[in-house]
RNA sequence: GGUCCCGUAGCUCAACUGGAUAGAGCACCUGCCUUCUAAGCAGGGGGUUGCAGGUUCGAUUCCUGCCGGGAUCACCA
């Protein structure tokens, strides 16, 4: 179904056209001044400027045309030329009635199955997932959900960091600690053990230690680089050891992402494109794109009109190793070849903006990606602590993701116990509710902000569960479920509009535009914002209107229908940001 | 130093891409649980949108210059 403001925009657009003005001036939006009108059109002022006319005169002419349309109960001109519109209840009711059973809450798909690849998550093999992975994962997953709902073939790819220097650090360290291991015997030709000689805990201990060491010890770093190159050349023992790293890391990642309700369609990593790199670079060399520079093989991506320094994209380092720019370029090659996407979106820390600019330029320059393939880096802000500096735990370390989730869950259980709502629930259900509350709190705290700005990560605020939080939204949704259940609600009956519920009905009609904005700008926070406003408006209505004791049966049924519609929108909106609602709480 | 981003209530953030009276939450104050879940609701105080200019009927939004903060500037990811 066509959204309400689209219908109104069409009507206004025709009125502008009748005056010889562009139909786009007819764009109608929800009113900024609900006290004056339900909708407004600001086009008369812009049209007047373009046509060098008086804005109020233009508005007057438009209004004259609109007067012939009986869906408006009130049309007037305010200020310099705002056209304020209010619908008759009959017209509003007609639209709302079509919304009641609509499976998508009135939002039609706008895409036709075009493929979009989303690159988010990016956990590293052999390193624990920490809160730094949170933003990429939940923002990326939400954008994927929104795009998919809009009709795109949205493919989420986790793009694991499984092939970089950190692998060389780990392997070389194990070789120093355990030179006798069969993995390090170059003459060994048999099979390697099926069981990993190290655990995730071992890896978690080794990485930060060696990483720090390599920063000060040039020789040790050299050793790591060497091991990295050997691994990338698939030295048998190294490769077997690396396989173990991947296996044990995957188990840990899957635990975290399942808990977070973050989904990936592809579990690929840097390794998956390794075999594409050599042929790709050879090809680029033969075409003259890739050239030798200071011992490295690079693509010069500086453009003539650049005023600033623009470093080249390095494909092969002096030591023959590849860099993440190389794998990112090869990954574009692979994605174009396998999926032919119209867009590839990268949800990665904004500090990597220059890197992506280099890679994107390289991809376009070398025709690895056609000009019409949109390559976009959706760079999110740094996660800071309440002191404004990059987030650290009280002891100065990184907070592991699973610890964060566990903290949220404990807090939620505390809350359930305090409110005594969970007393009659089974332990399983309580744990399930606590988990959903914790994830809702974590996700909503992040996703309600525009992701491009830096984000202050405040554990205390996040787990307070009061005010504008995920748990508030769950609470409102669950209250509606409970209400409908108590009422034994069954769909049907007429929609009755009244002064106490009209605003809520109007808010329900906003969803298509909300989602459209979210899709156009890749901004899940507008969906969060709408869900919150809707929940708040419902809560206000709920507080002022006692539904179950309403004696007028038709009115009661109408309010229940309204409640059901609000619930459906909350469920949809929250699903689009990856938040699940429990049956009760 | 070059380039880019940011600066909105005490704090954390919005503001439909140039619109009307800049909105929420937290914190603070006042009410509301013998009627549908108080993780709630109703109300109150709190703003020269960093500063100074400019464009415009109209600027938090666009332009210029300052001030303050951050990021980044080829062999790490």
| Helical pair A511-521 and A553-576, crossing angle rounded to 10 deg | 10
User: Given this model, what pLDDT does residue A509 score?
Assistant: 97
Mean predicted confidence (pLDDT) in A415-444? 91
Average pLDDT, whole number, for chain A?
93
Mean predicted confidence (pLDDT) in A268-291? 94
Q: How confident is the model at residue A422 (pLDDT cuts 50, 70, 90)?
A: confident
Q: Which of A48, A65, A87 is the last residue of a domain?
A: A87
| ipTM rounded to 2 decimals | 0.96
Residue A485, CA: closest nucleotide via C1'?
B36
Q: Which of residues 117-156 of A touch strand B (CB under 7 A)?
A: 124
Answer whether residue A193 is part of any domain.
Answer: yes
Percent of chain A with pLDDT over 90: 80
Q: A518: helix, coil or strand?
A: helix
Answer whether residue A231 is part of any domain.
Answer: yes
Q: Which of residues 439-458 of A touch strand B (CB under 7 A)?
A: 448-450, 452-456, 458
Answer whether residue A274 is part of any domain.
Answer: no
User: Which residue spans within A359-481 are E strands per DSSP?
Assistant: 374-380, 383-384, 455-456
Q: How many domains does chain A have?
A: 2
Q: Which of residues 182-221 of A touch strand B (CB under 7 A)?
A: none
Answer whether residue A179 is part of any domain.
Answer: yes
User: Given this model, what pLDDT does residue A136 score?
Assistant: 95
Q: Report pLDDT digits (tens) over A239-252.
A: 999 999 999 999 99
The distance (Å) linking the CA of A422 with the C1' of B30 is 32
Sequence-separated (6 or more) residues with CB below 8 Å from residue A158 = A120, A121, A122, A123, A253, A264, A266, A267, A268, A269
Answer whether residue A441 is part of any domain.
Answer: no
User: Given this model, what pLDDT does residue A144 score?
Assistant: 98
Q: Beta carbon of A7 within 7 Å of strand B?
A: no
The distance (Å) linking the CA of A530 with the C1' of B34 is 36
Q: CB pairs under 8 A, 24+ apart, for A48-51?
A: A48/A81, A50/A21, A50/A22, A51/A21
Q: Report pLDDT digits (tens) over A532-564.
A: 999 999 999 999 999 999 999 999 999 999 999
Percent of chain A with pLDDT over 70: 99
User: Given this model, what pLDDT does residue A307 score?
Assistant: 64
Q: Which of A208, A239, A260 is the last residue of a domain?
A: A260
Q: How confident is the model at residue A531 (pLDDT cuts 50, 70, 90)?
A: very high
Q: Is the pLDDT of residue A229 over 90?
A: no
Q: Report pLDDT digits (tens) over A510-524.
A: 999 999 999 999 999
A193: containing domain: 165-260
The distance (Å) linking the CA of A464 with the C1' of B29 is 21
Q: Is the pLDDT of residue A59 over 90?
A: yes
The distance (Å) linking the CA of A562 with the C1' of B49 is 38
Residue A35 sits in a domain of what CATH number? 3.30.1360.70
Q: Beta carbon of A416 within 7 Å of strand B?
A: yes
Element of type H or E holding A87: strand A82-87
Q: Is the pLDDT of residue A419 over 70?
A: yes
Q: Is the pLDDT of residue A424 over 90?
A: no
Q: Are A146 and A519 in contact (CB under 8 A)?
A: yes
Q: Beta carbon of A522 within 7 Å of strand B?
A: no
Q: Beta carbon of A86 within 7 Å of strand B?
A: no
Sequence-separated (6 or more) residues with CB below 8 Å from residue A307 = none
Q: Which of A210, A231, A260 is the last residue of a domain?
A: A260
Query: In angstroms, rounded to a whole number, what is the distance separating the alpha carbons of residues A462 and A416?
Result: 16
Q: Report pLDDT digits (tens) over A481-491.
A: 999 999 999 99
Query: In angstroms, rounded to a whole number, what is the distance separating the alpha carbons of residues A376 and A399?
Result: 29
The distance (Å) linking the CA of A467 with the C1' of B28 is 16
Protein residue with the closest CA to the C1' atom of nucleotide B22: A32
Q: How confident is the model at residue A232 (pLDDT cuts 50, 70, 90)?
A: confident
Answer whether residue A442 is part of any domain.
Answer: no
User: Given this model, what pLDDT does residue A314 score?
Assistant: 96
Mean predicted confidence (pLDDT) in A233-238? 91
Helices (H), A217-305: 218-232, 236-260, 274-286
Q: Beta carbon of A500 within 7 Å of strand B?
A: no
Q: Report pLDDT digits (tens) over A124-134.
A: 998 888 888 99
Residue A221, CA: closest nucleotide via C1'?
B76
The distance (Å) linking the CA of A139 with the C1' of B32 is 39
Q: Which of residues 281-320 of A touch strand B (CB under 7 A)?
A: 293-296, 298, 307-309, 311-312, 314, 317-319
Q: Report chain B positions within 7 A of protein CB atoms.
A: 2-6, 12-17, 19-21, 24-27, 35-42, 57-58, 69-77
What burial class does residue A140 get, using C-beta atoms within 10 Å of its C-beta: 0-12 exposed, 13-18 middle, 19+ buried?
buried
Number of alpha helices (DSSP H) and beta strands (DSSP E) in chain A: 20, 13
The distance (Å) linking the CA of A12 with the C1' of B53 is 39
φ/ψ of residue A393, rounded to 5: -75, 175
The distance (Å) linking the CA of A494 with the C1' of B44 is 40
The distance (Å) linking the CA of A122 with the C1' of B1 is 34
Answer whether residue A124 is part of any domain.
Answer: no
Answer whether residue A133 is part of any domain.
Answer: no
The distance (Å) linking the CA of A310 with the C1' of B72 is 12
Q: Report pLDDT digits (tens) over A288-339.
A: 999 999 999 999 998 776 666 789 999 999 988 888 999 999 999 999 999 9
Mean predicted confidence (pLDDT) in A13-22? 94
């Amino acid at each position: 179904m066509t959204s309400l403001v689209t219908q109104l925009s069409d009507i206004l657009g025709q009125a502008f056209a009748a005056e010889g003005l562009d139909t786009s001036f007819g764009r109608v939006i929800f009113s900024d001044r609900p006290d004056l009108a339900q909708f407004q059109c600001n086009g008369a002022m812009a049209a007047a400027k373009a046509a060098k006319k008086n804005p109020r005169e233009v508005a007057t002419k438009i209004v004259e045309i609109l007067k012939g349309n009986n869906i408006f109960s009130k049309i007037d001109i305010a200020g310099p030329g705002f056209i304020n519109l209010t619908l008759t209840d009959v017209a509003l009711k007609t639209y709302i009635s079509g919304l009641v059973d609509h499976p998508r809450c009135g939002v039609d798909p706008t895409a036709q199955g075009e493929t979009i690849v989303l690159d988010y998550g990016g956990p590293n093999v052999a390193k624990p997932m920490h809160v730094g992975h949170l933003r990429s994962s939940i923002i990326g997953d939400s954008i994927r959900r929104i795009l998919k709902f809009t009709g795109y073939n949205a493919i989420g790819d986790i793009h694991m960091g499984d092939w970089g220097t950190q692998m060389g650090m780990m392997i070389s360290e194990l070789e120093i600690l355990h030179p006798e291991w069969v993995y390090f015997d170059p003459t060994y030709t048999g099979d390697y053990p099926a069981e990993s000689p190290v655990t995730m805990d071992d890896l978690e201990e080794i990485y930060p230690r060696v990483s720090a060491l390599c920063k000060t010890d040039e020789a040790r770093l050299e050793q790591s680089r060497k091991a990295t190159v050997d691994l990338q050349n698939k030295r048998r023992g190294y490769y077997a050891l690396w396989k173990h790293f991947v296996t044990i890391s995957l188990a840990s990642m899957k635990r975290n992402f399942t808990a977070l309700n973050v989904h990936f369609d592809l579990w690929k990593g840097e390794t998956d494109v390794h075999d594409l790199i050599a042929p790709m670079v050879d090809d680029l060399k033969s075409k003259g794109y890739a050239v030798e520079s200071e011992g490295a093989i690079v693509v010069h991506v500086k453009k003539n009109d650049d005023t600033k320094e623009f470093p080249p994209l390095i494909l092969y380092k002096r030591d023959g190793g590849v860099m993440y720019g190389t794998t990112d370029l090869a990954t574009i090659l692979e994605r174009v070849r396998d999926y032919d996407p119209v867009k590839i979106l990268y949800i990665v820390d904004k500090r990597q903006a220059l890197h992506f600019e280099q890679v994107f330029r390289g991809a376009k320059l070398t025709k690895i990606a056609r000009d019409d393939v949109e390559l976009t880096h959706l760079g999110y802000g740094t996660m800071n602590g309440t002191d404004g500096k990059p987030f650290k735990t009280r002891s100065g370390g990184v907070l592991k993701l699973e610890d964060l989730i566990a903290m949220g869950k404990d807090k939620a259980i505390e809350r359930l116990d305090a409110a005594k709502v969970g007393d009659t629930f089974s332990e399983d259900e309580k744990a399930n509710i606590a988990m959903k509350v914790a994830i809702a709190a974590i996700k909503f705290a992040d996703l309600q902000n525009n992701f491009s700005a830096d984000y202050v990560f405040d554990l205390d605020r996040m787990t307070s569960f009061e005010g504008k939080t995920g748990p508030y939204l769950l609470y409102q949704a669950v209250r509606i479920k409970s209400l409908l259940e108590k009422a034994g609600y069954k769909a049907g009956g007429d929609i009755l509009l009244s002064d106490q519920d009209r605003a809520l009905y109007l808010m329900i009609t906003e969803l298509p535009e909300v989602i459209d904005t979210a899709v156009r700008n890749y901004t899940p926070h507008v969906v969060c914002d709408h869900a919150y406003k809707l929940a708040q408006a419902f809560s206000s209505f709920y507080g002022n209107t006692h539904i179950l004791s309403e004696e007028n049966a038709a009115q009661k049924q109408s309010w229940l229908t309204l409640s059901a519609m609000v619930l459906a929108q909350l469920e949809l909106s929250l699903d689009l940001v990856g938040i699940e609602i429990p049956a009760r709480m």
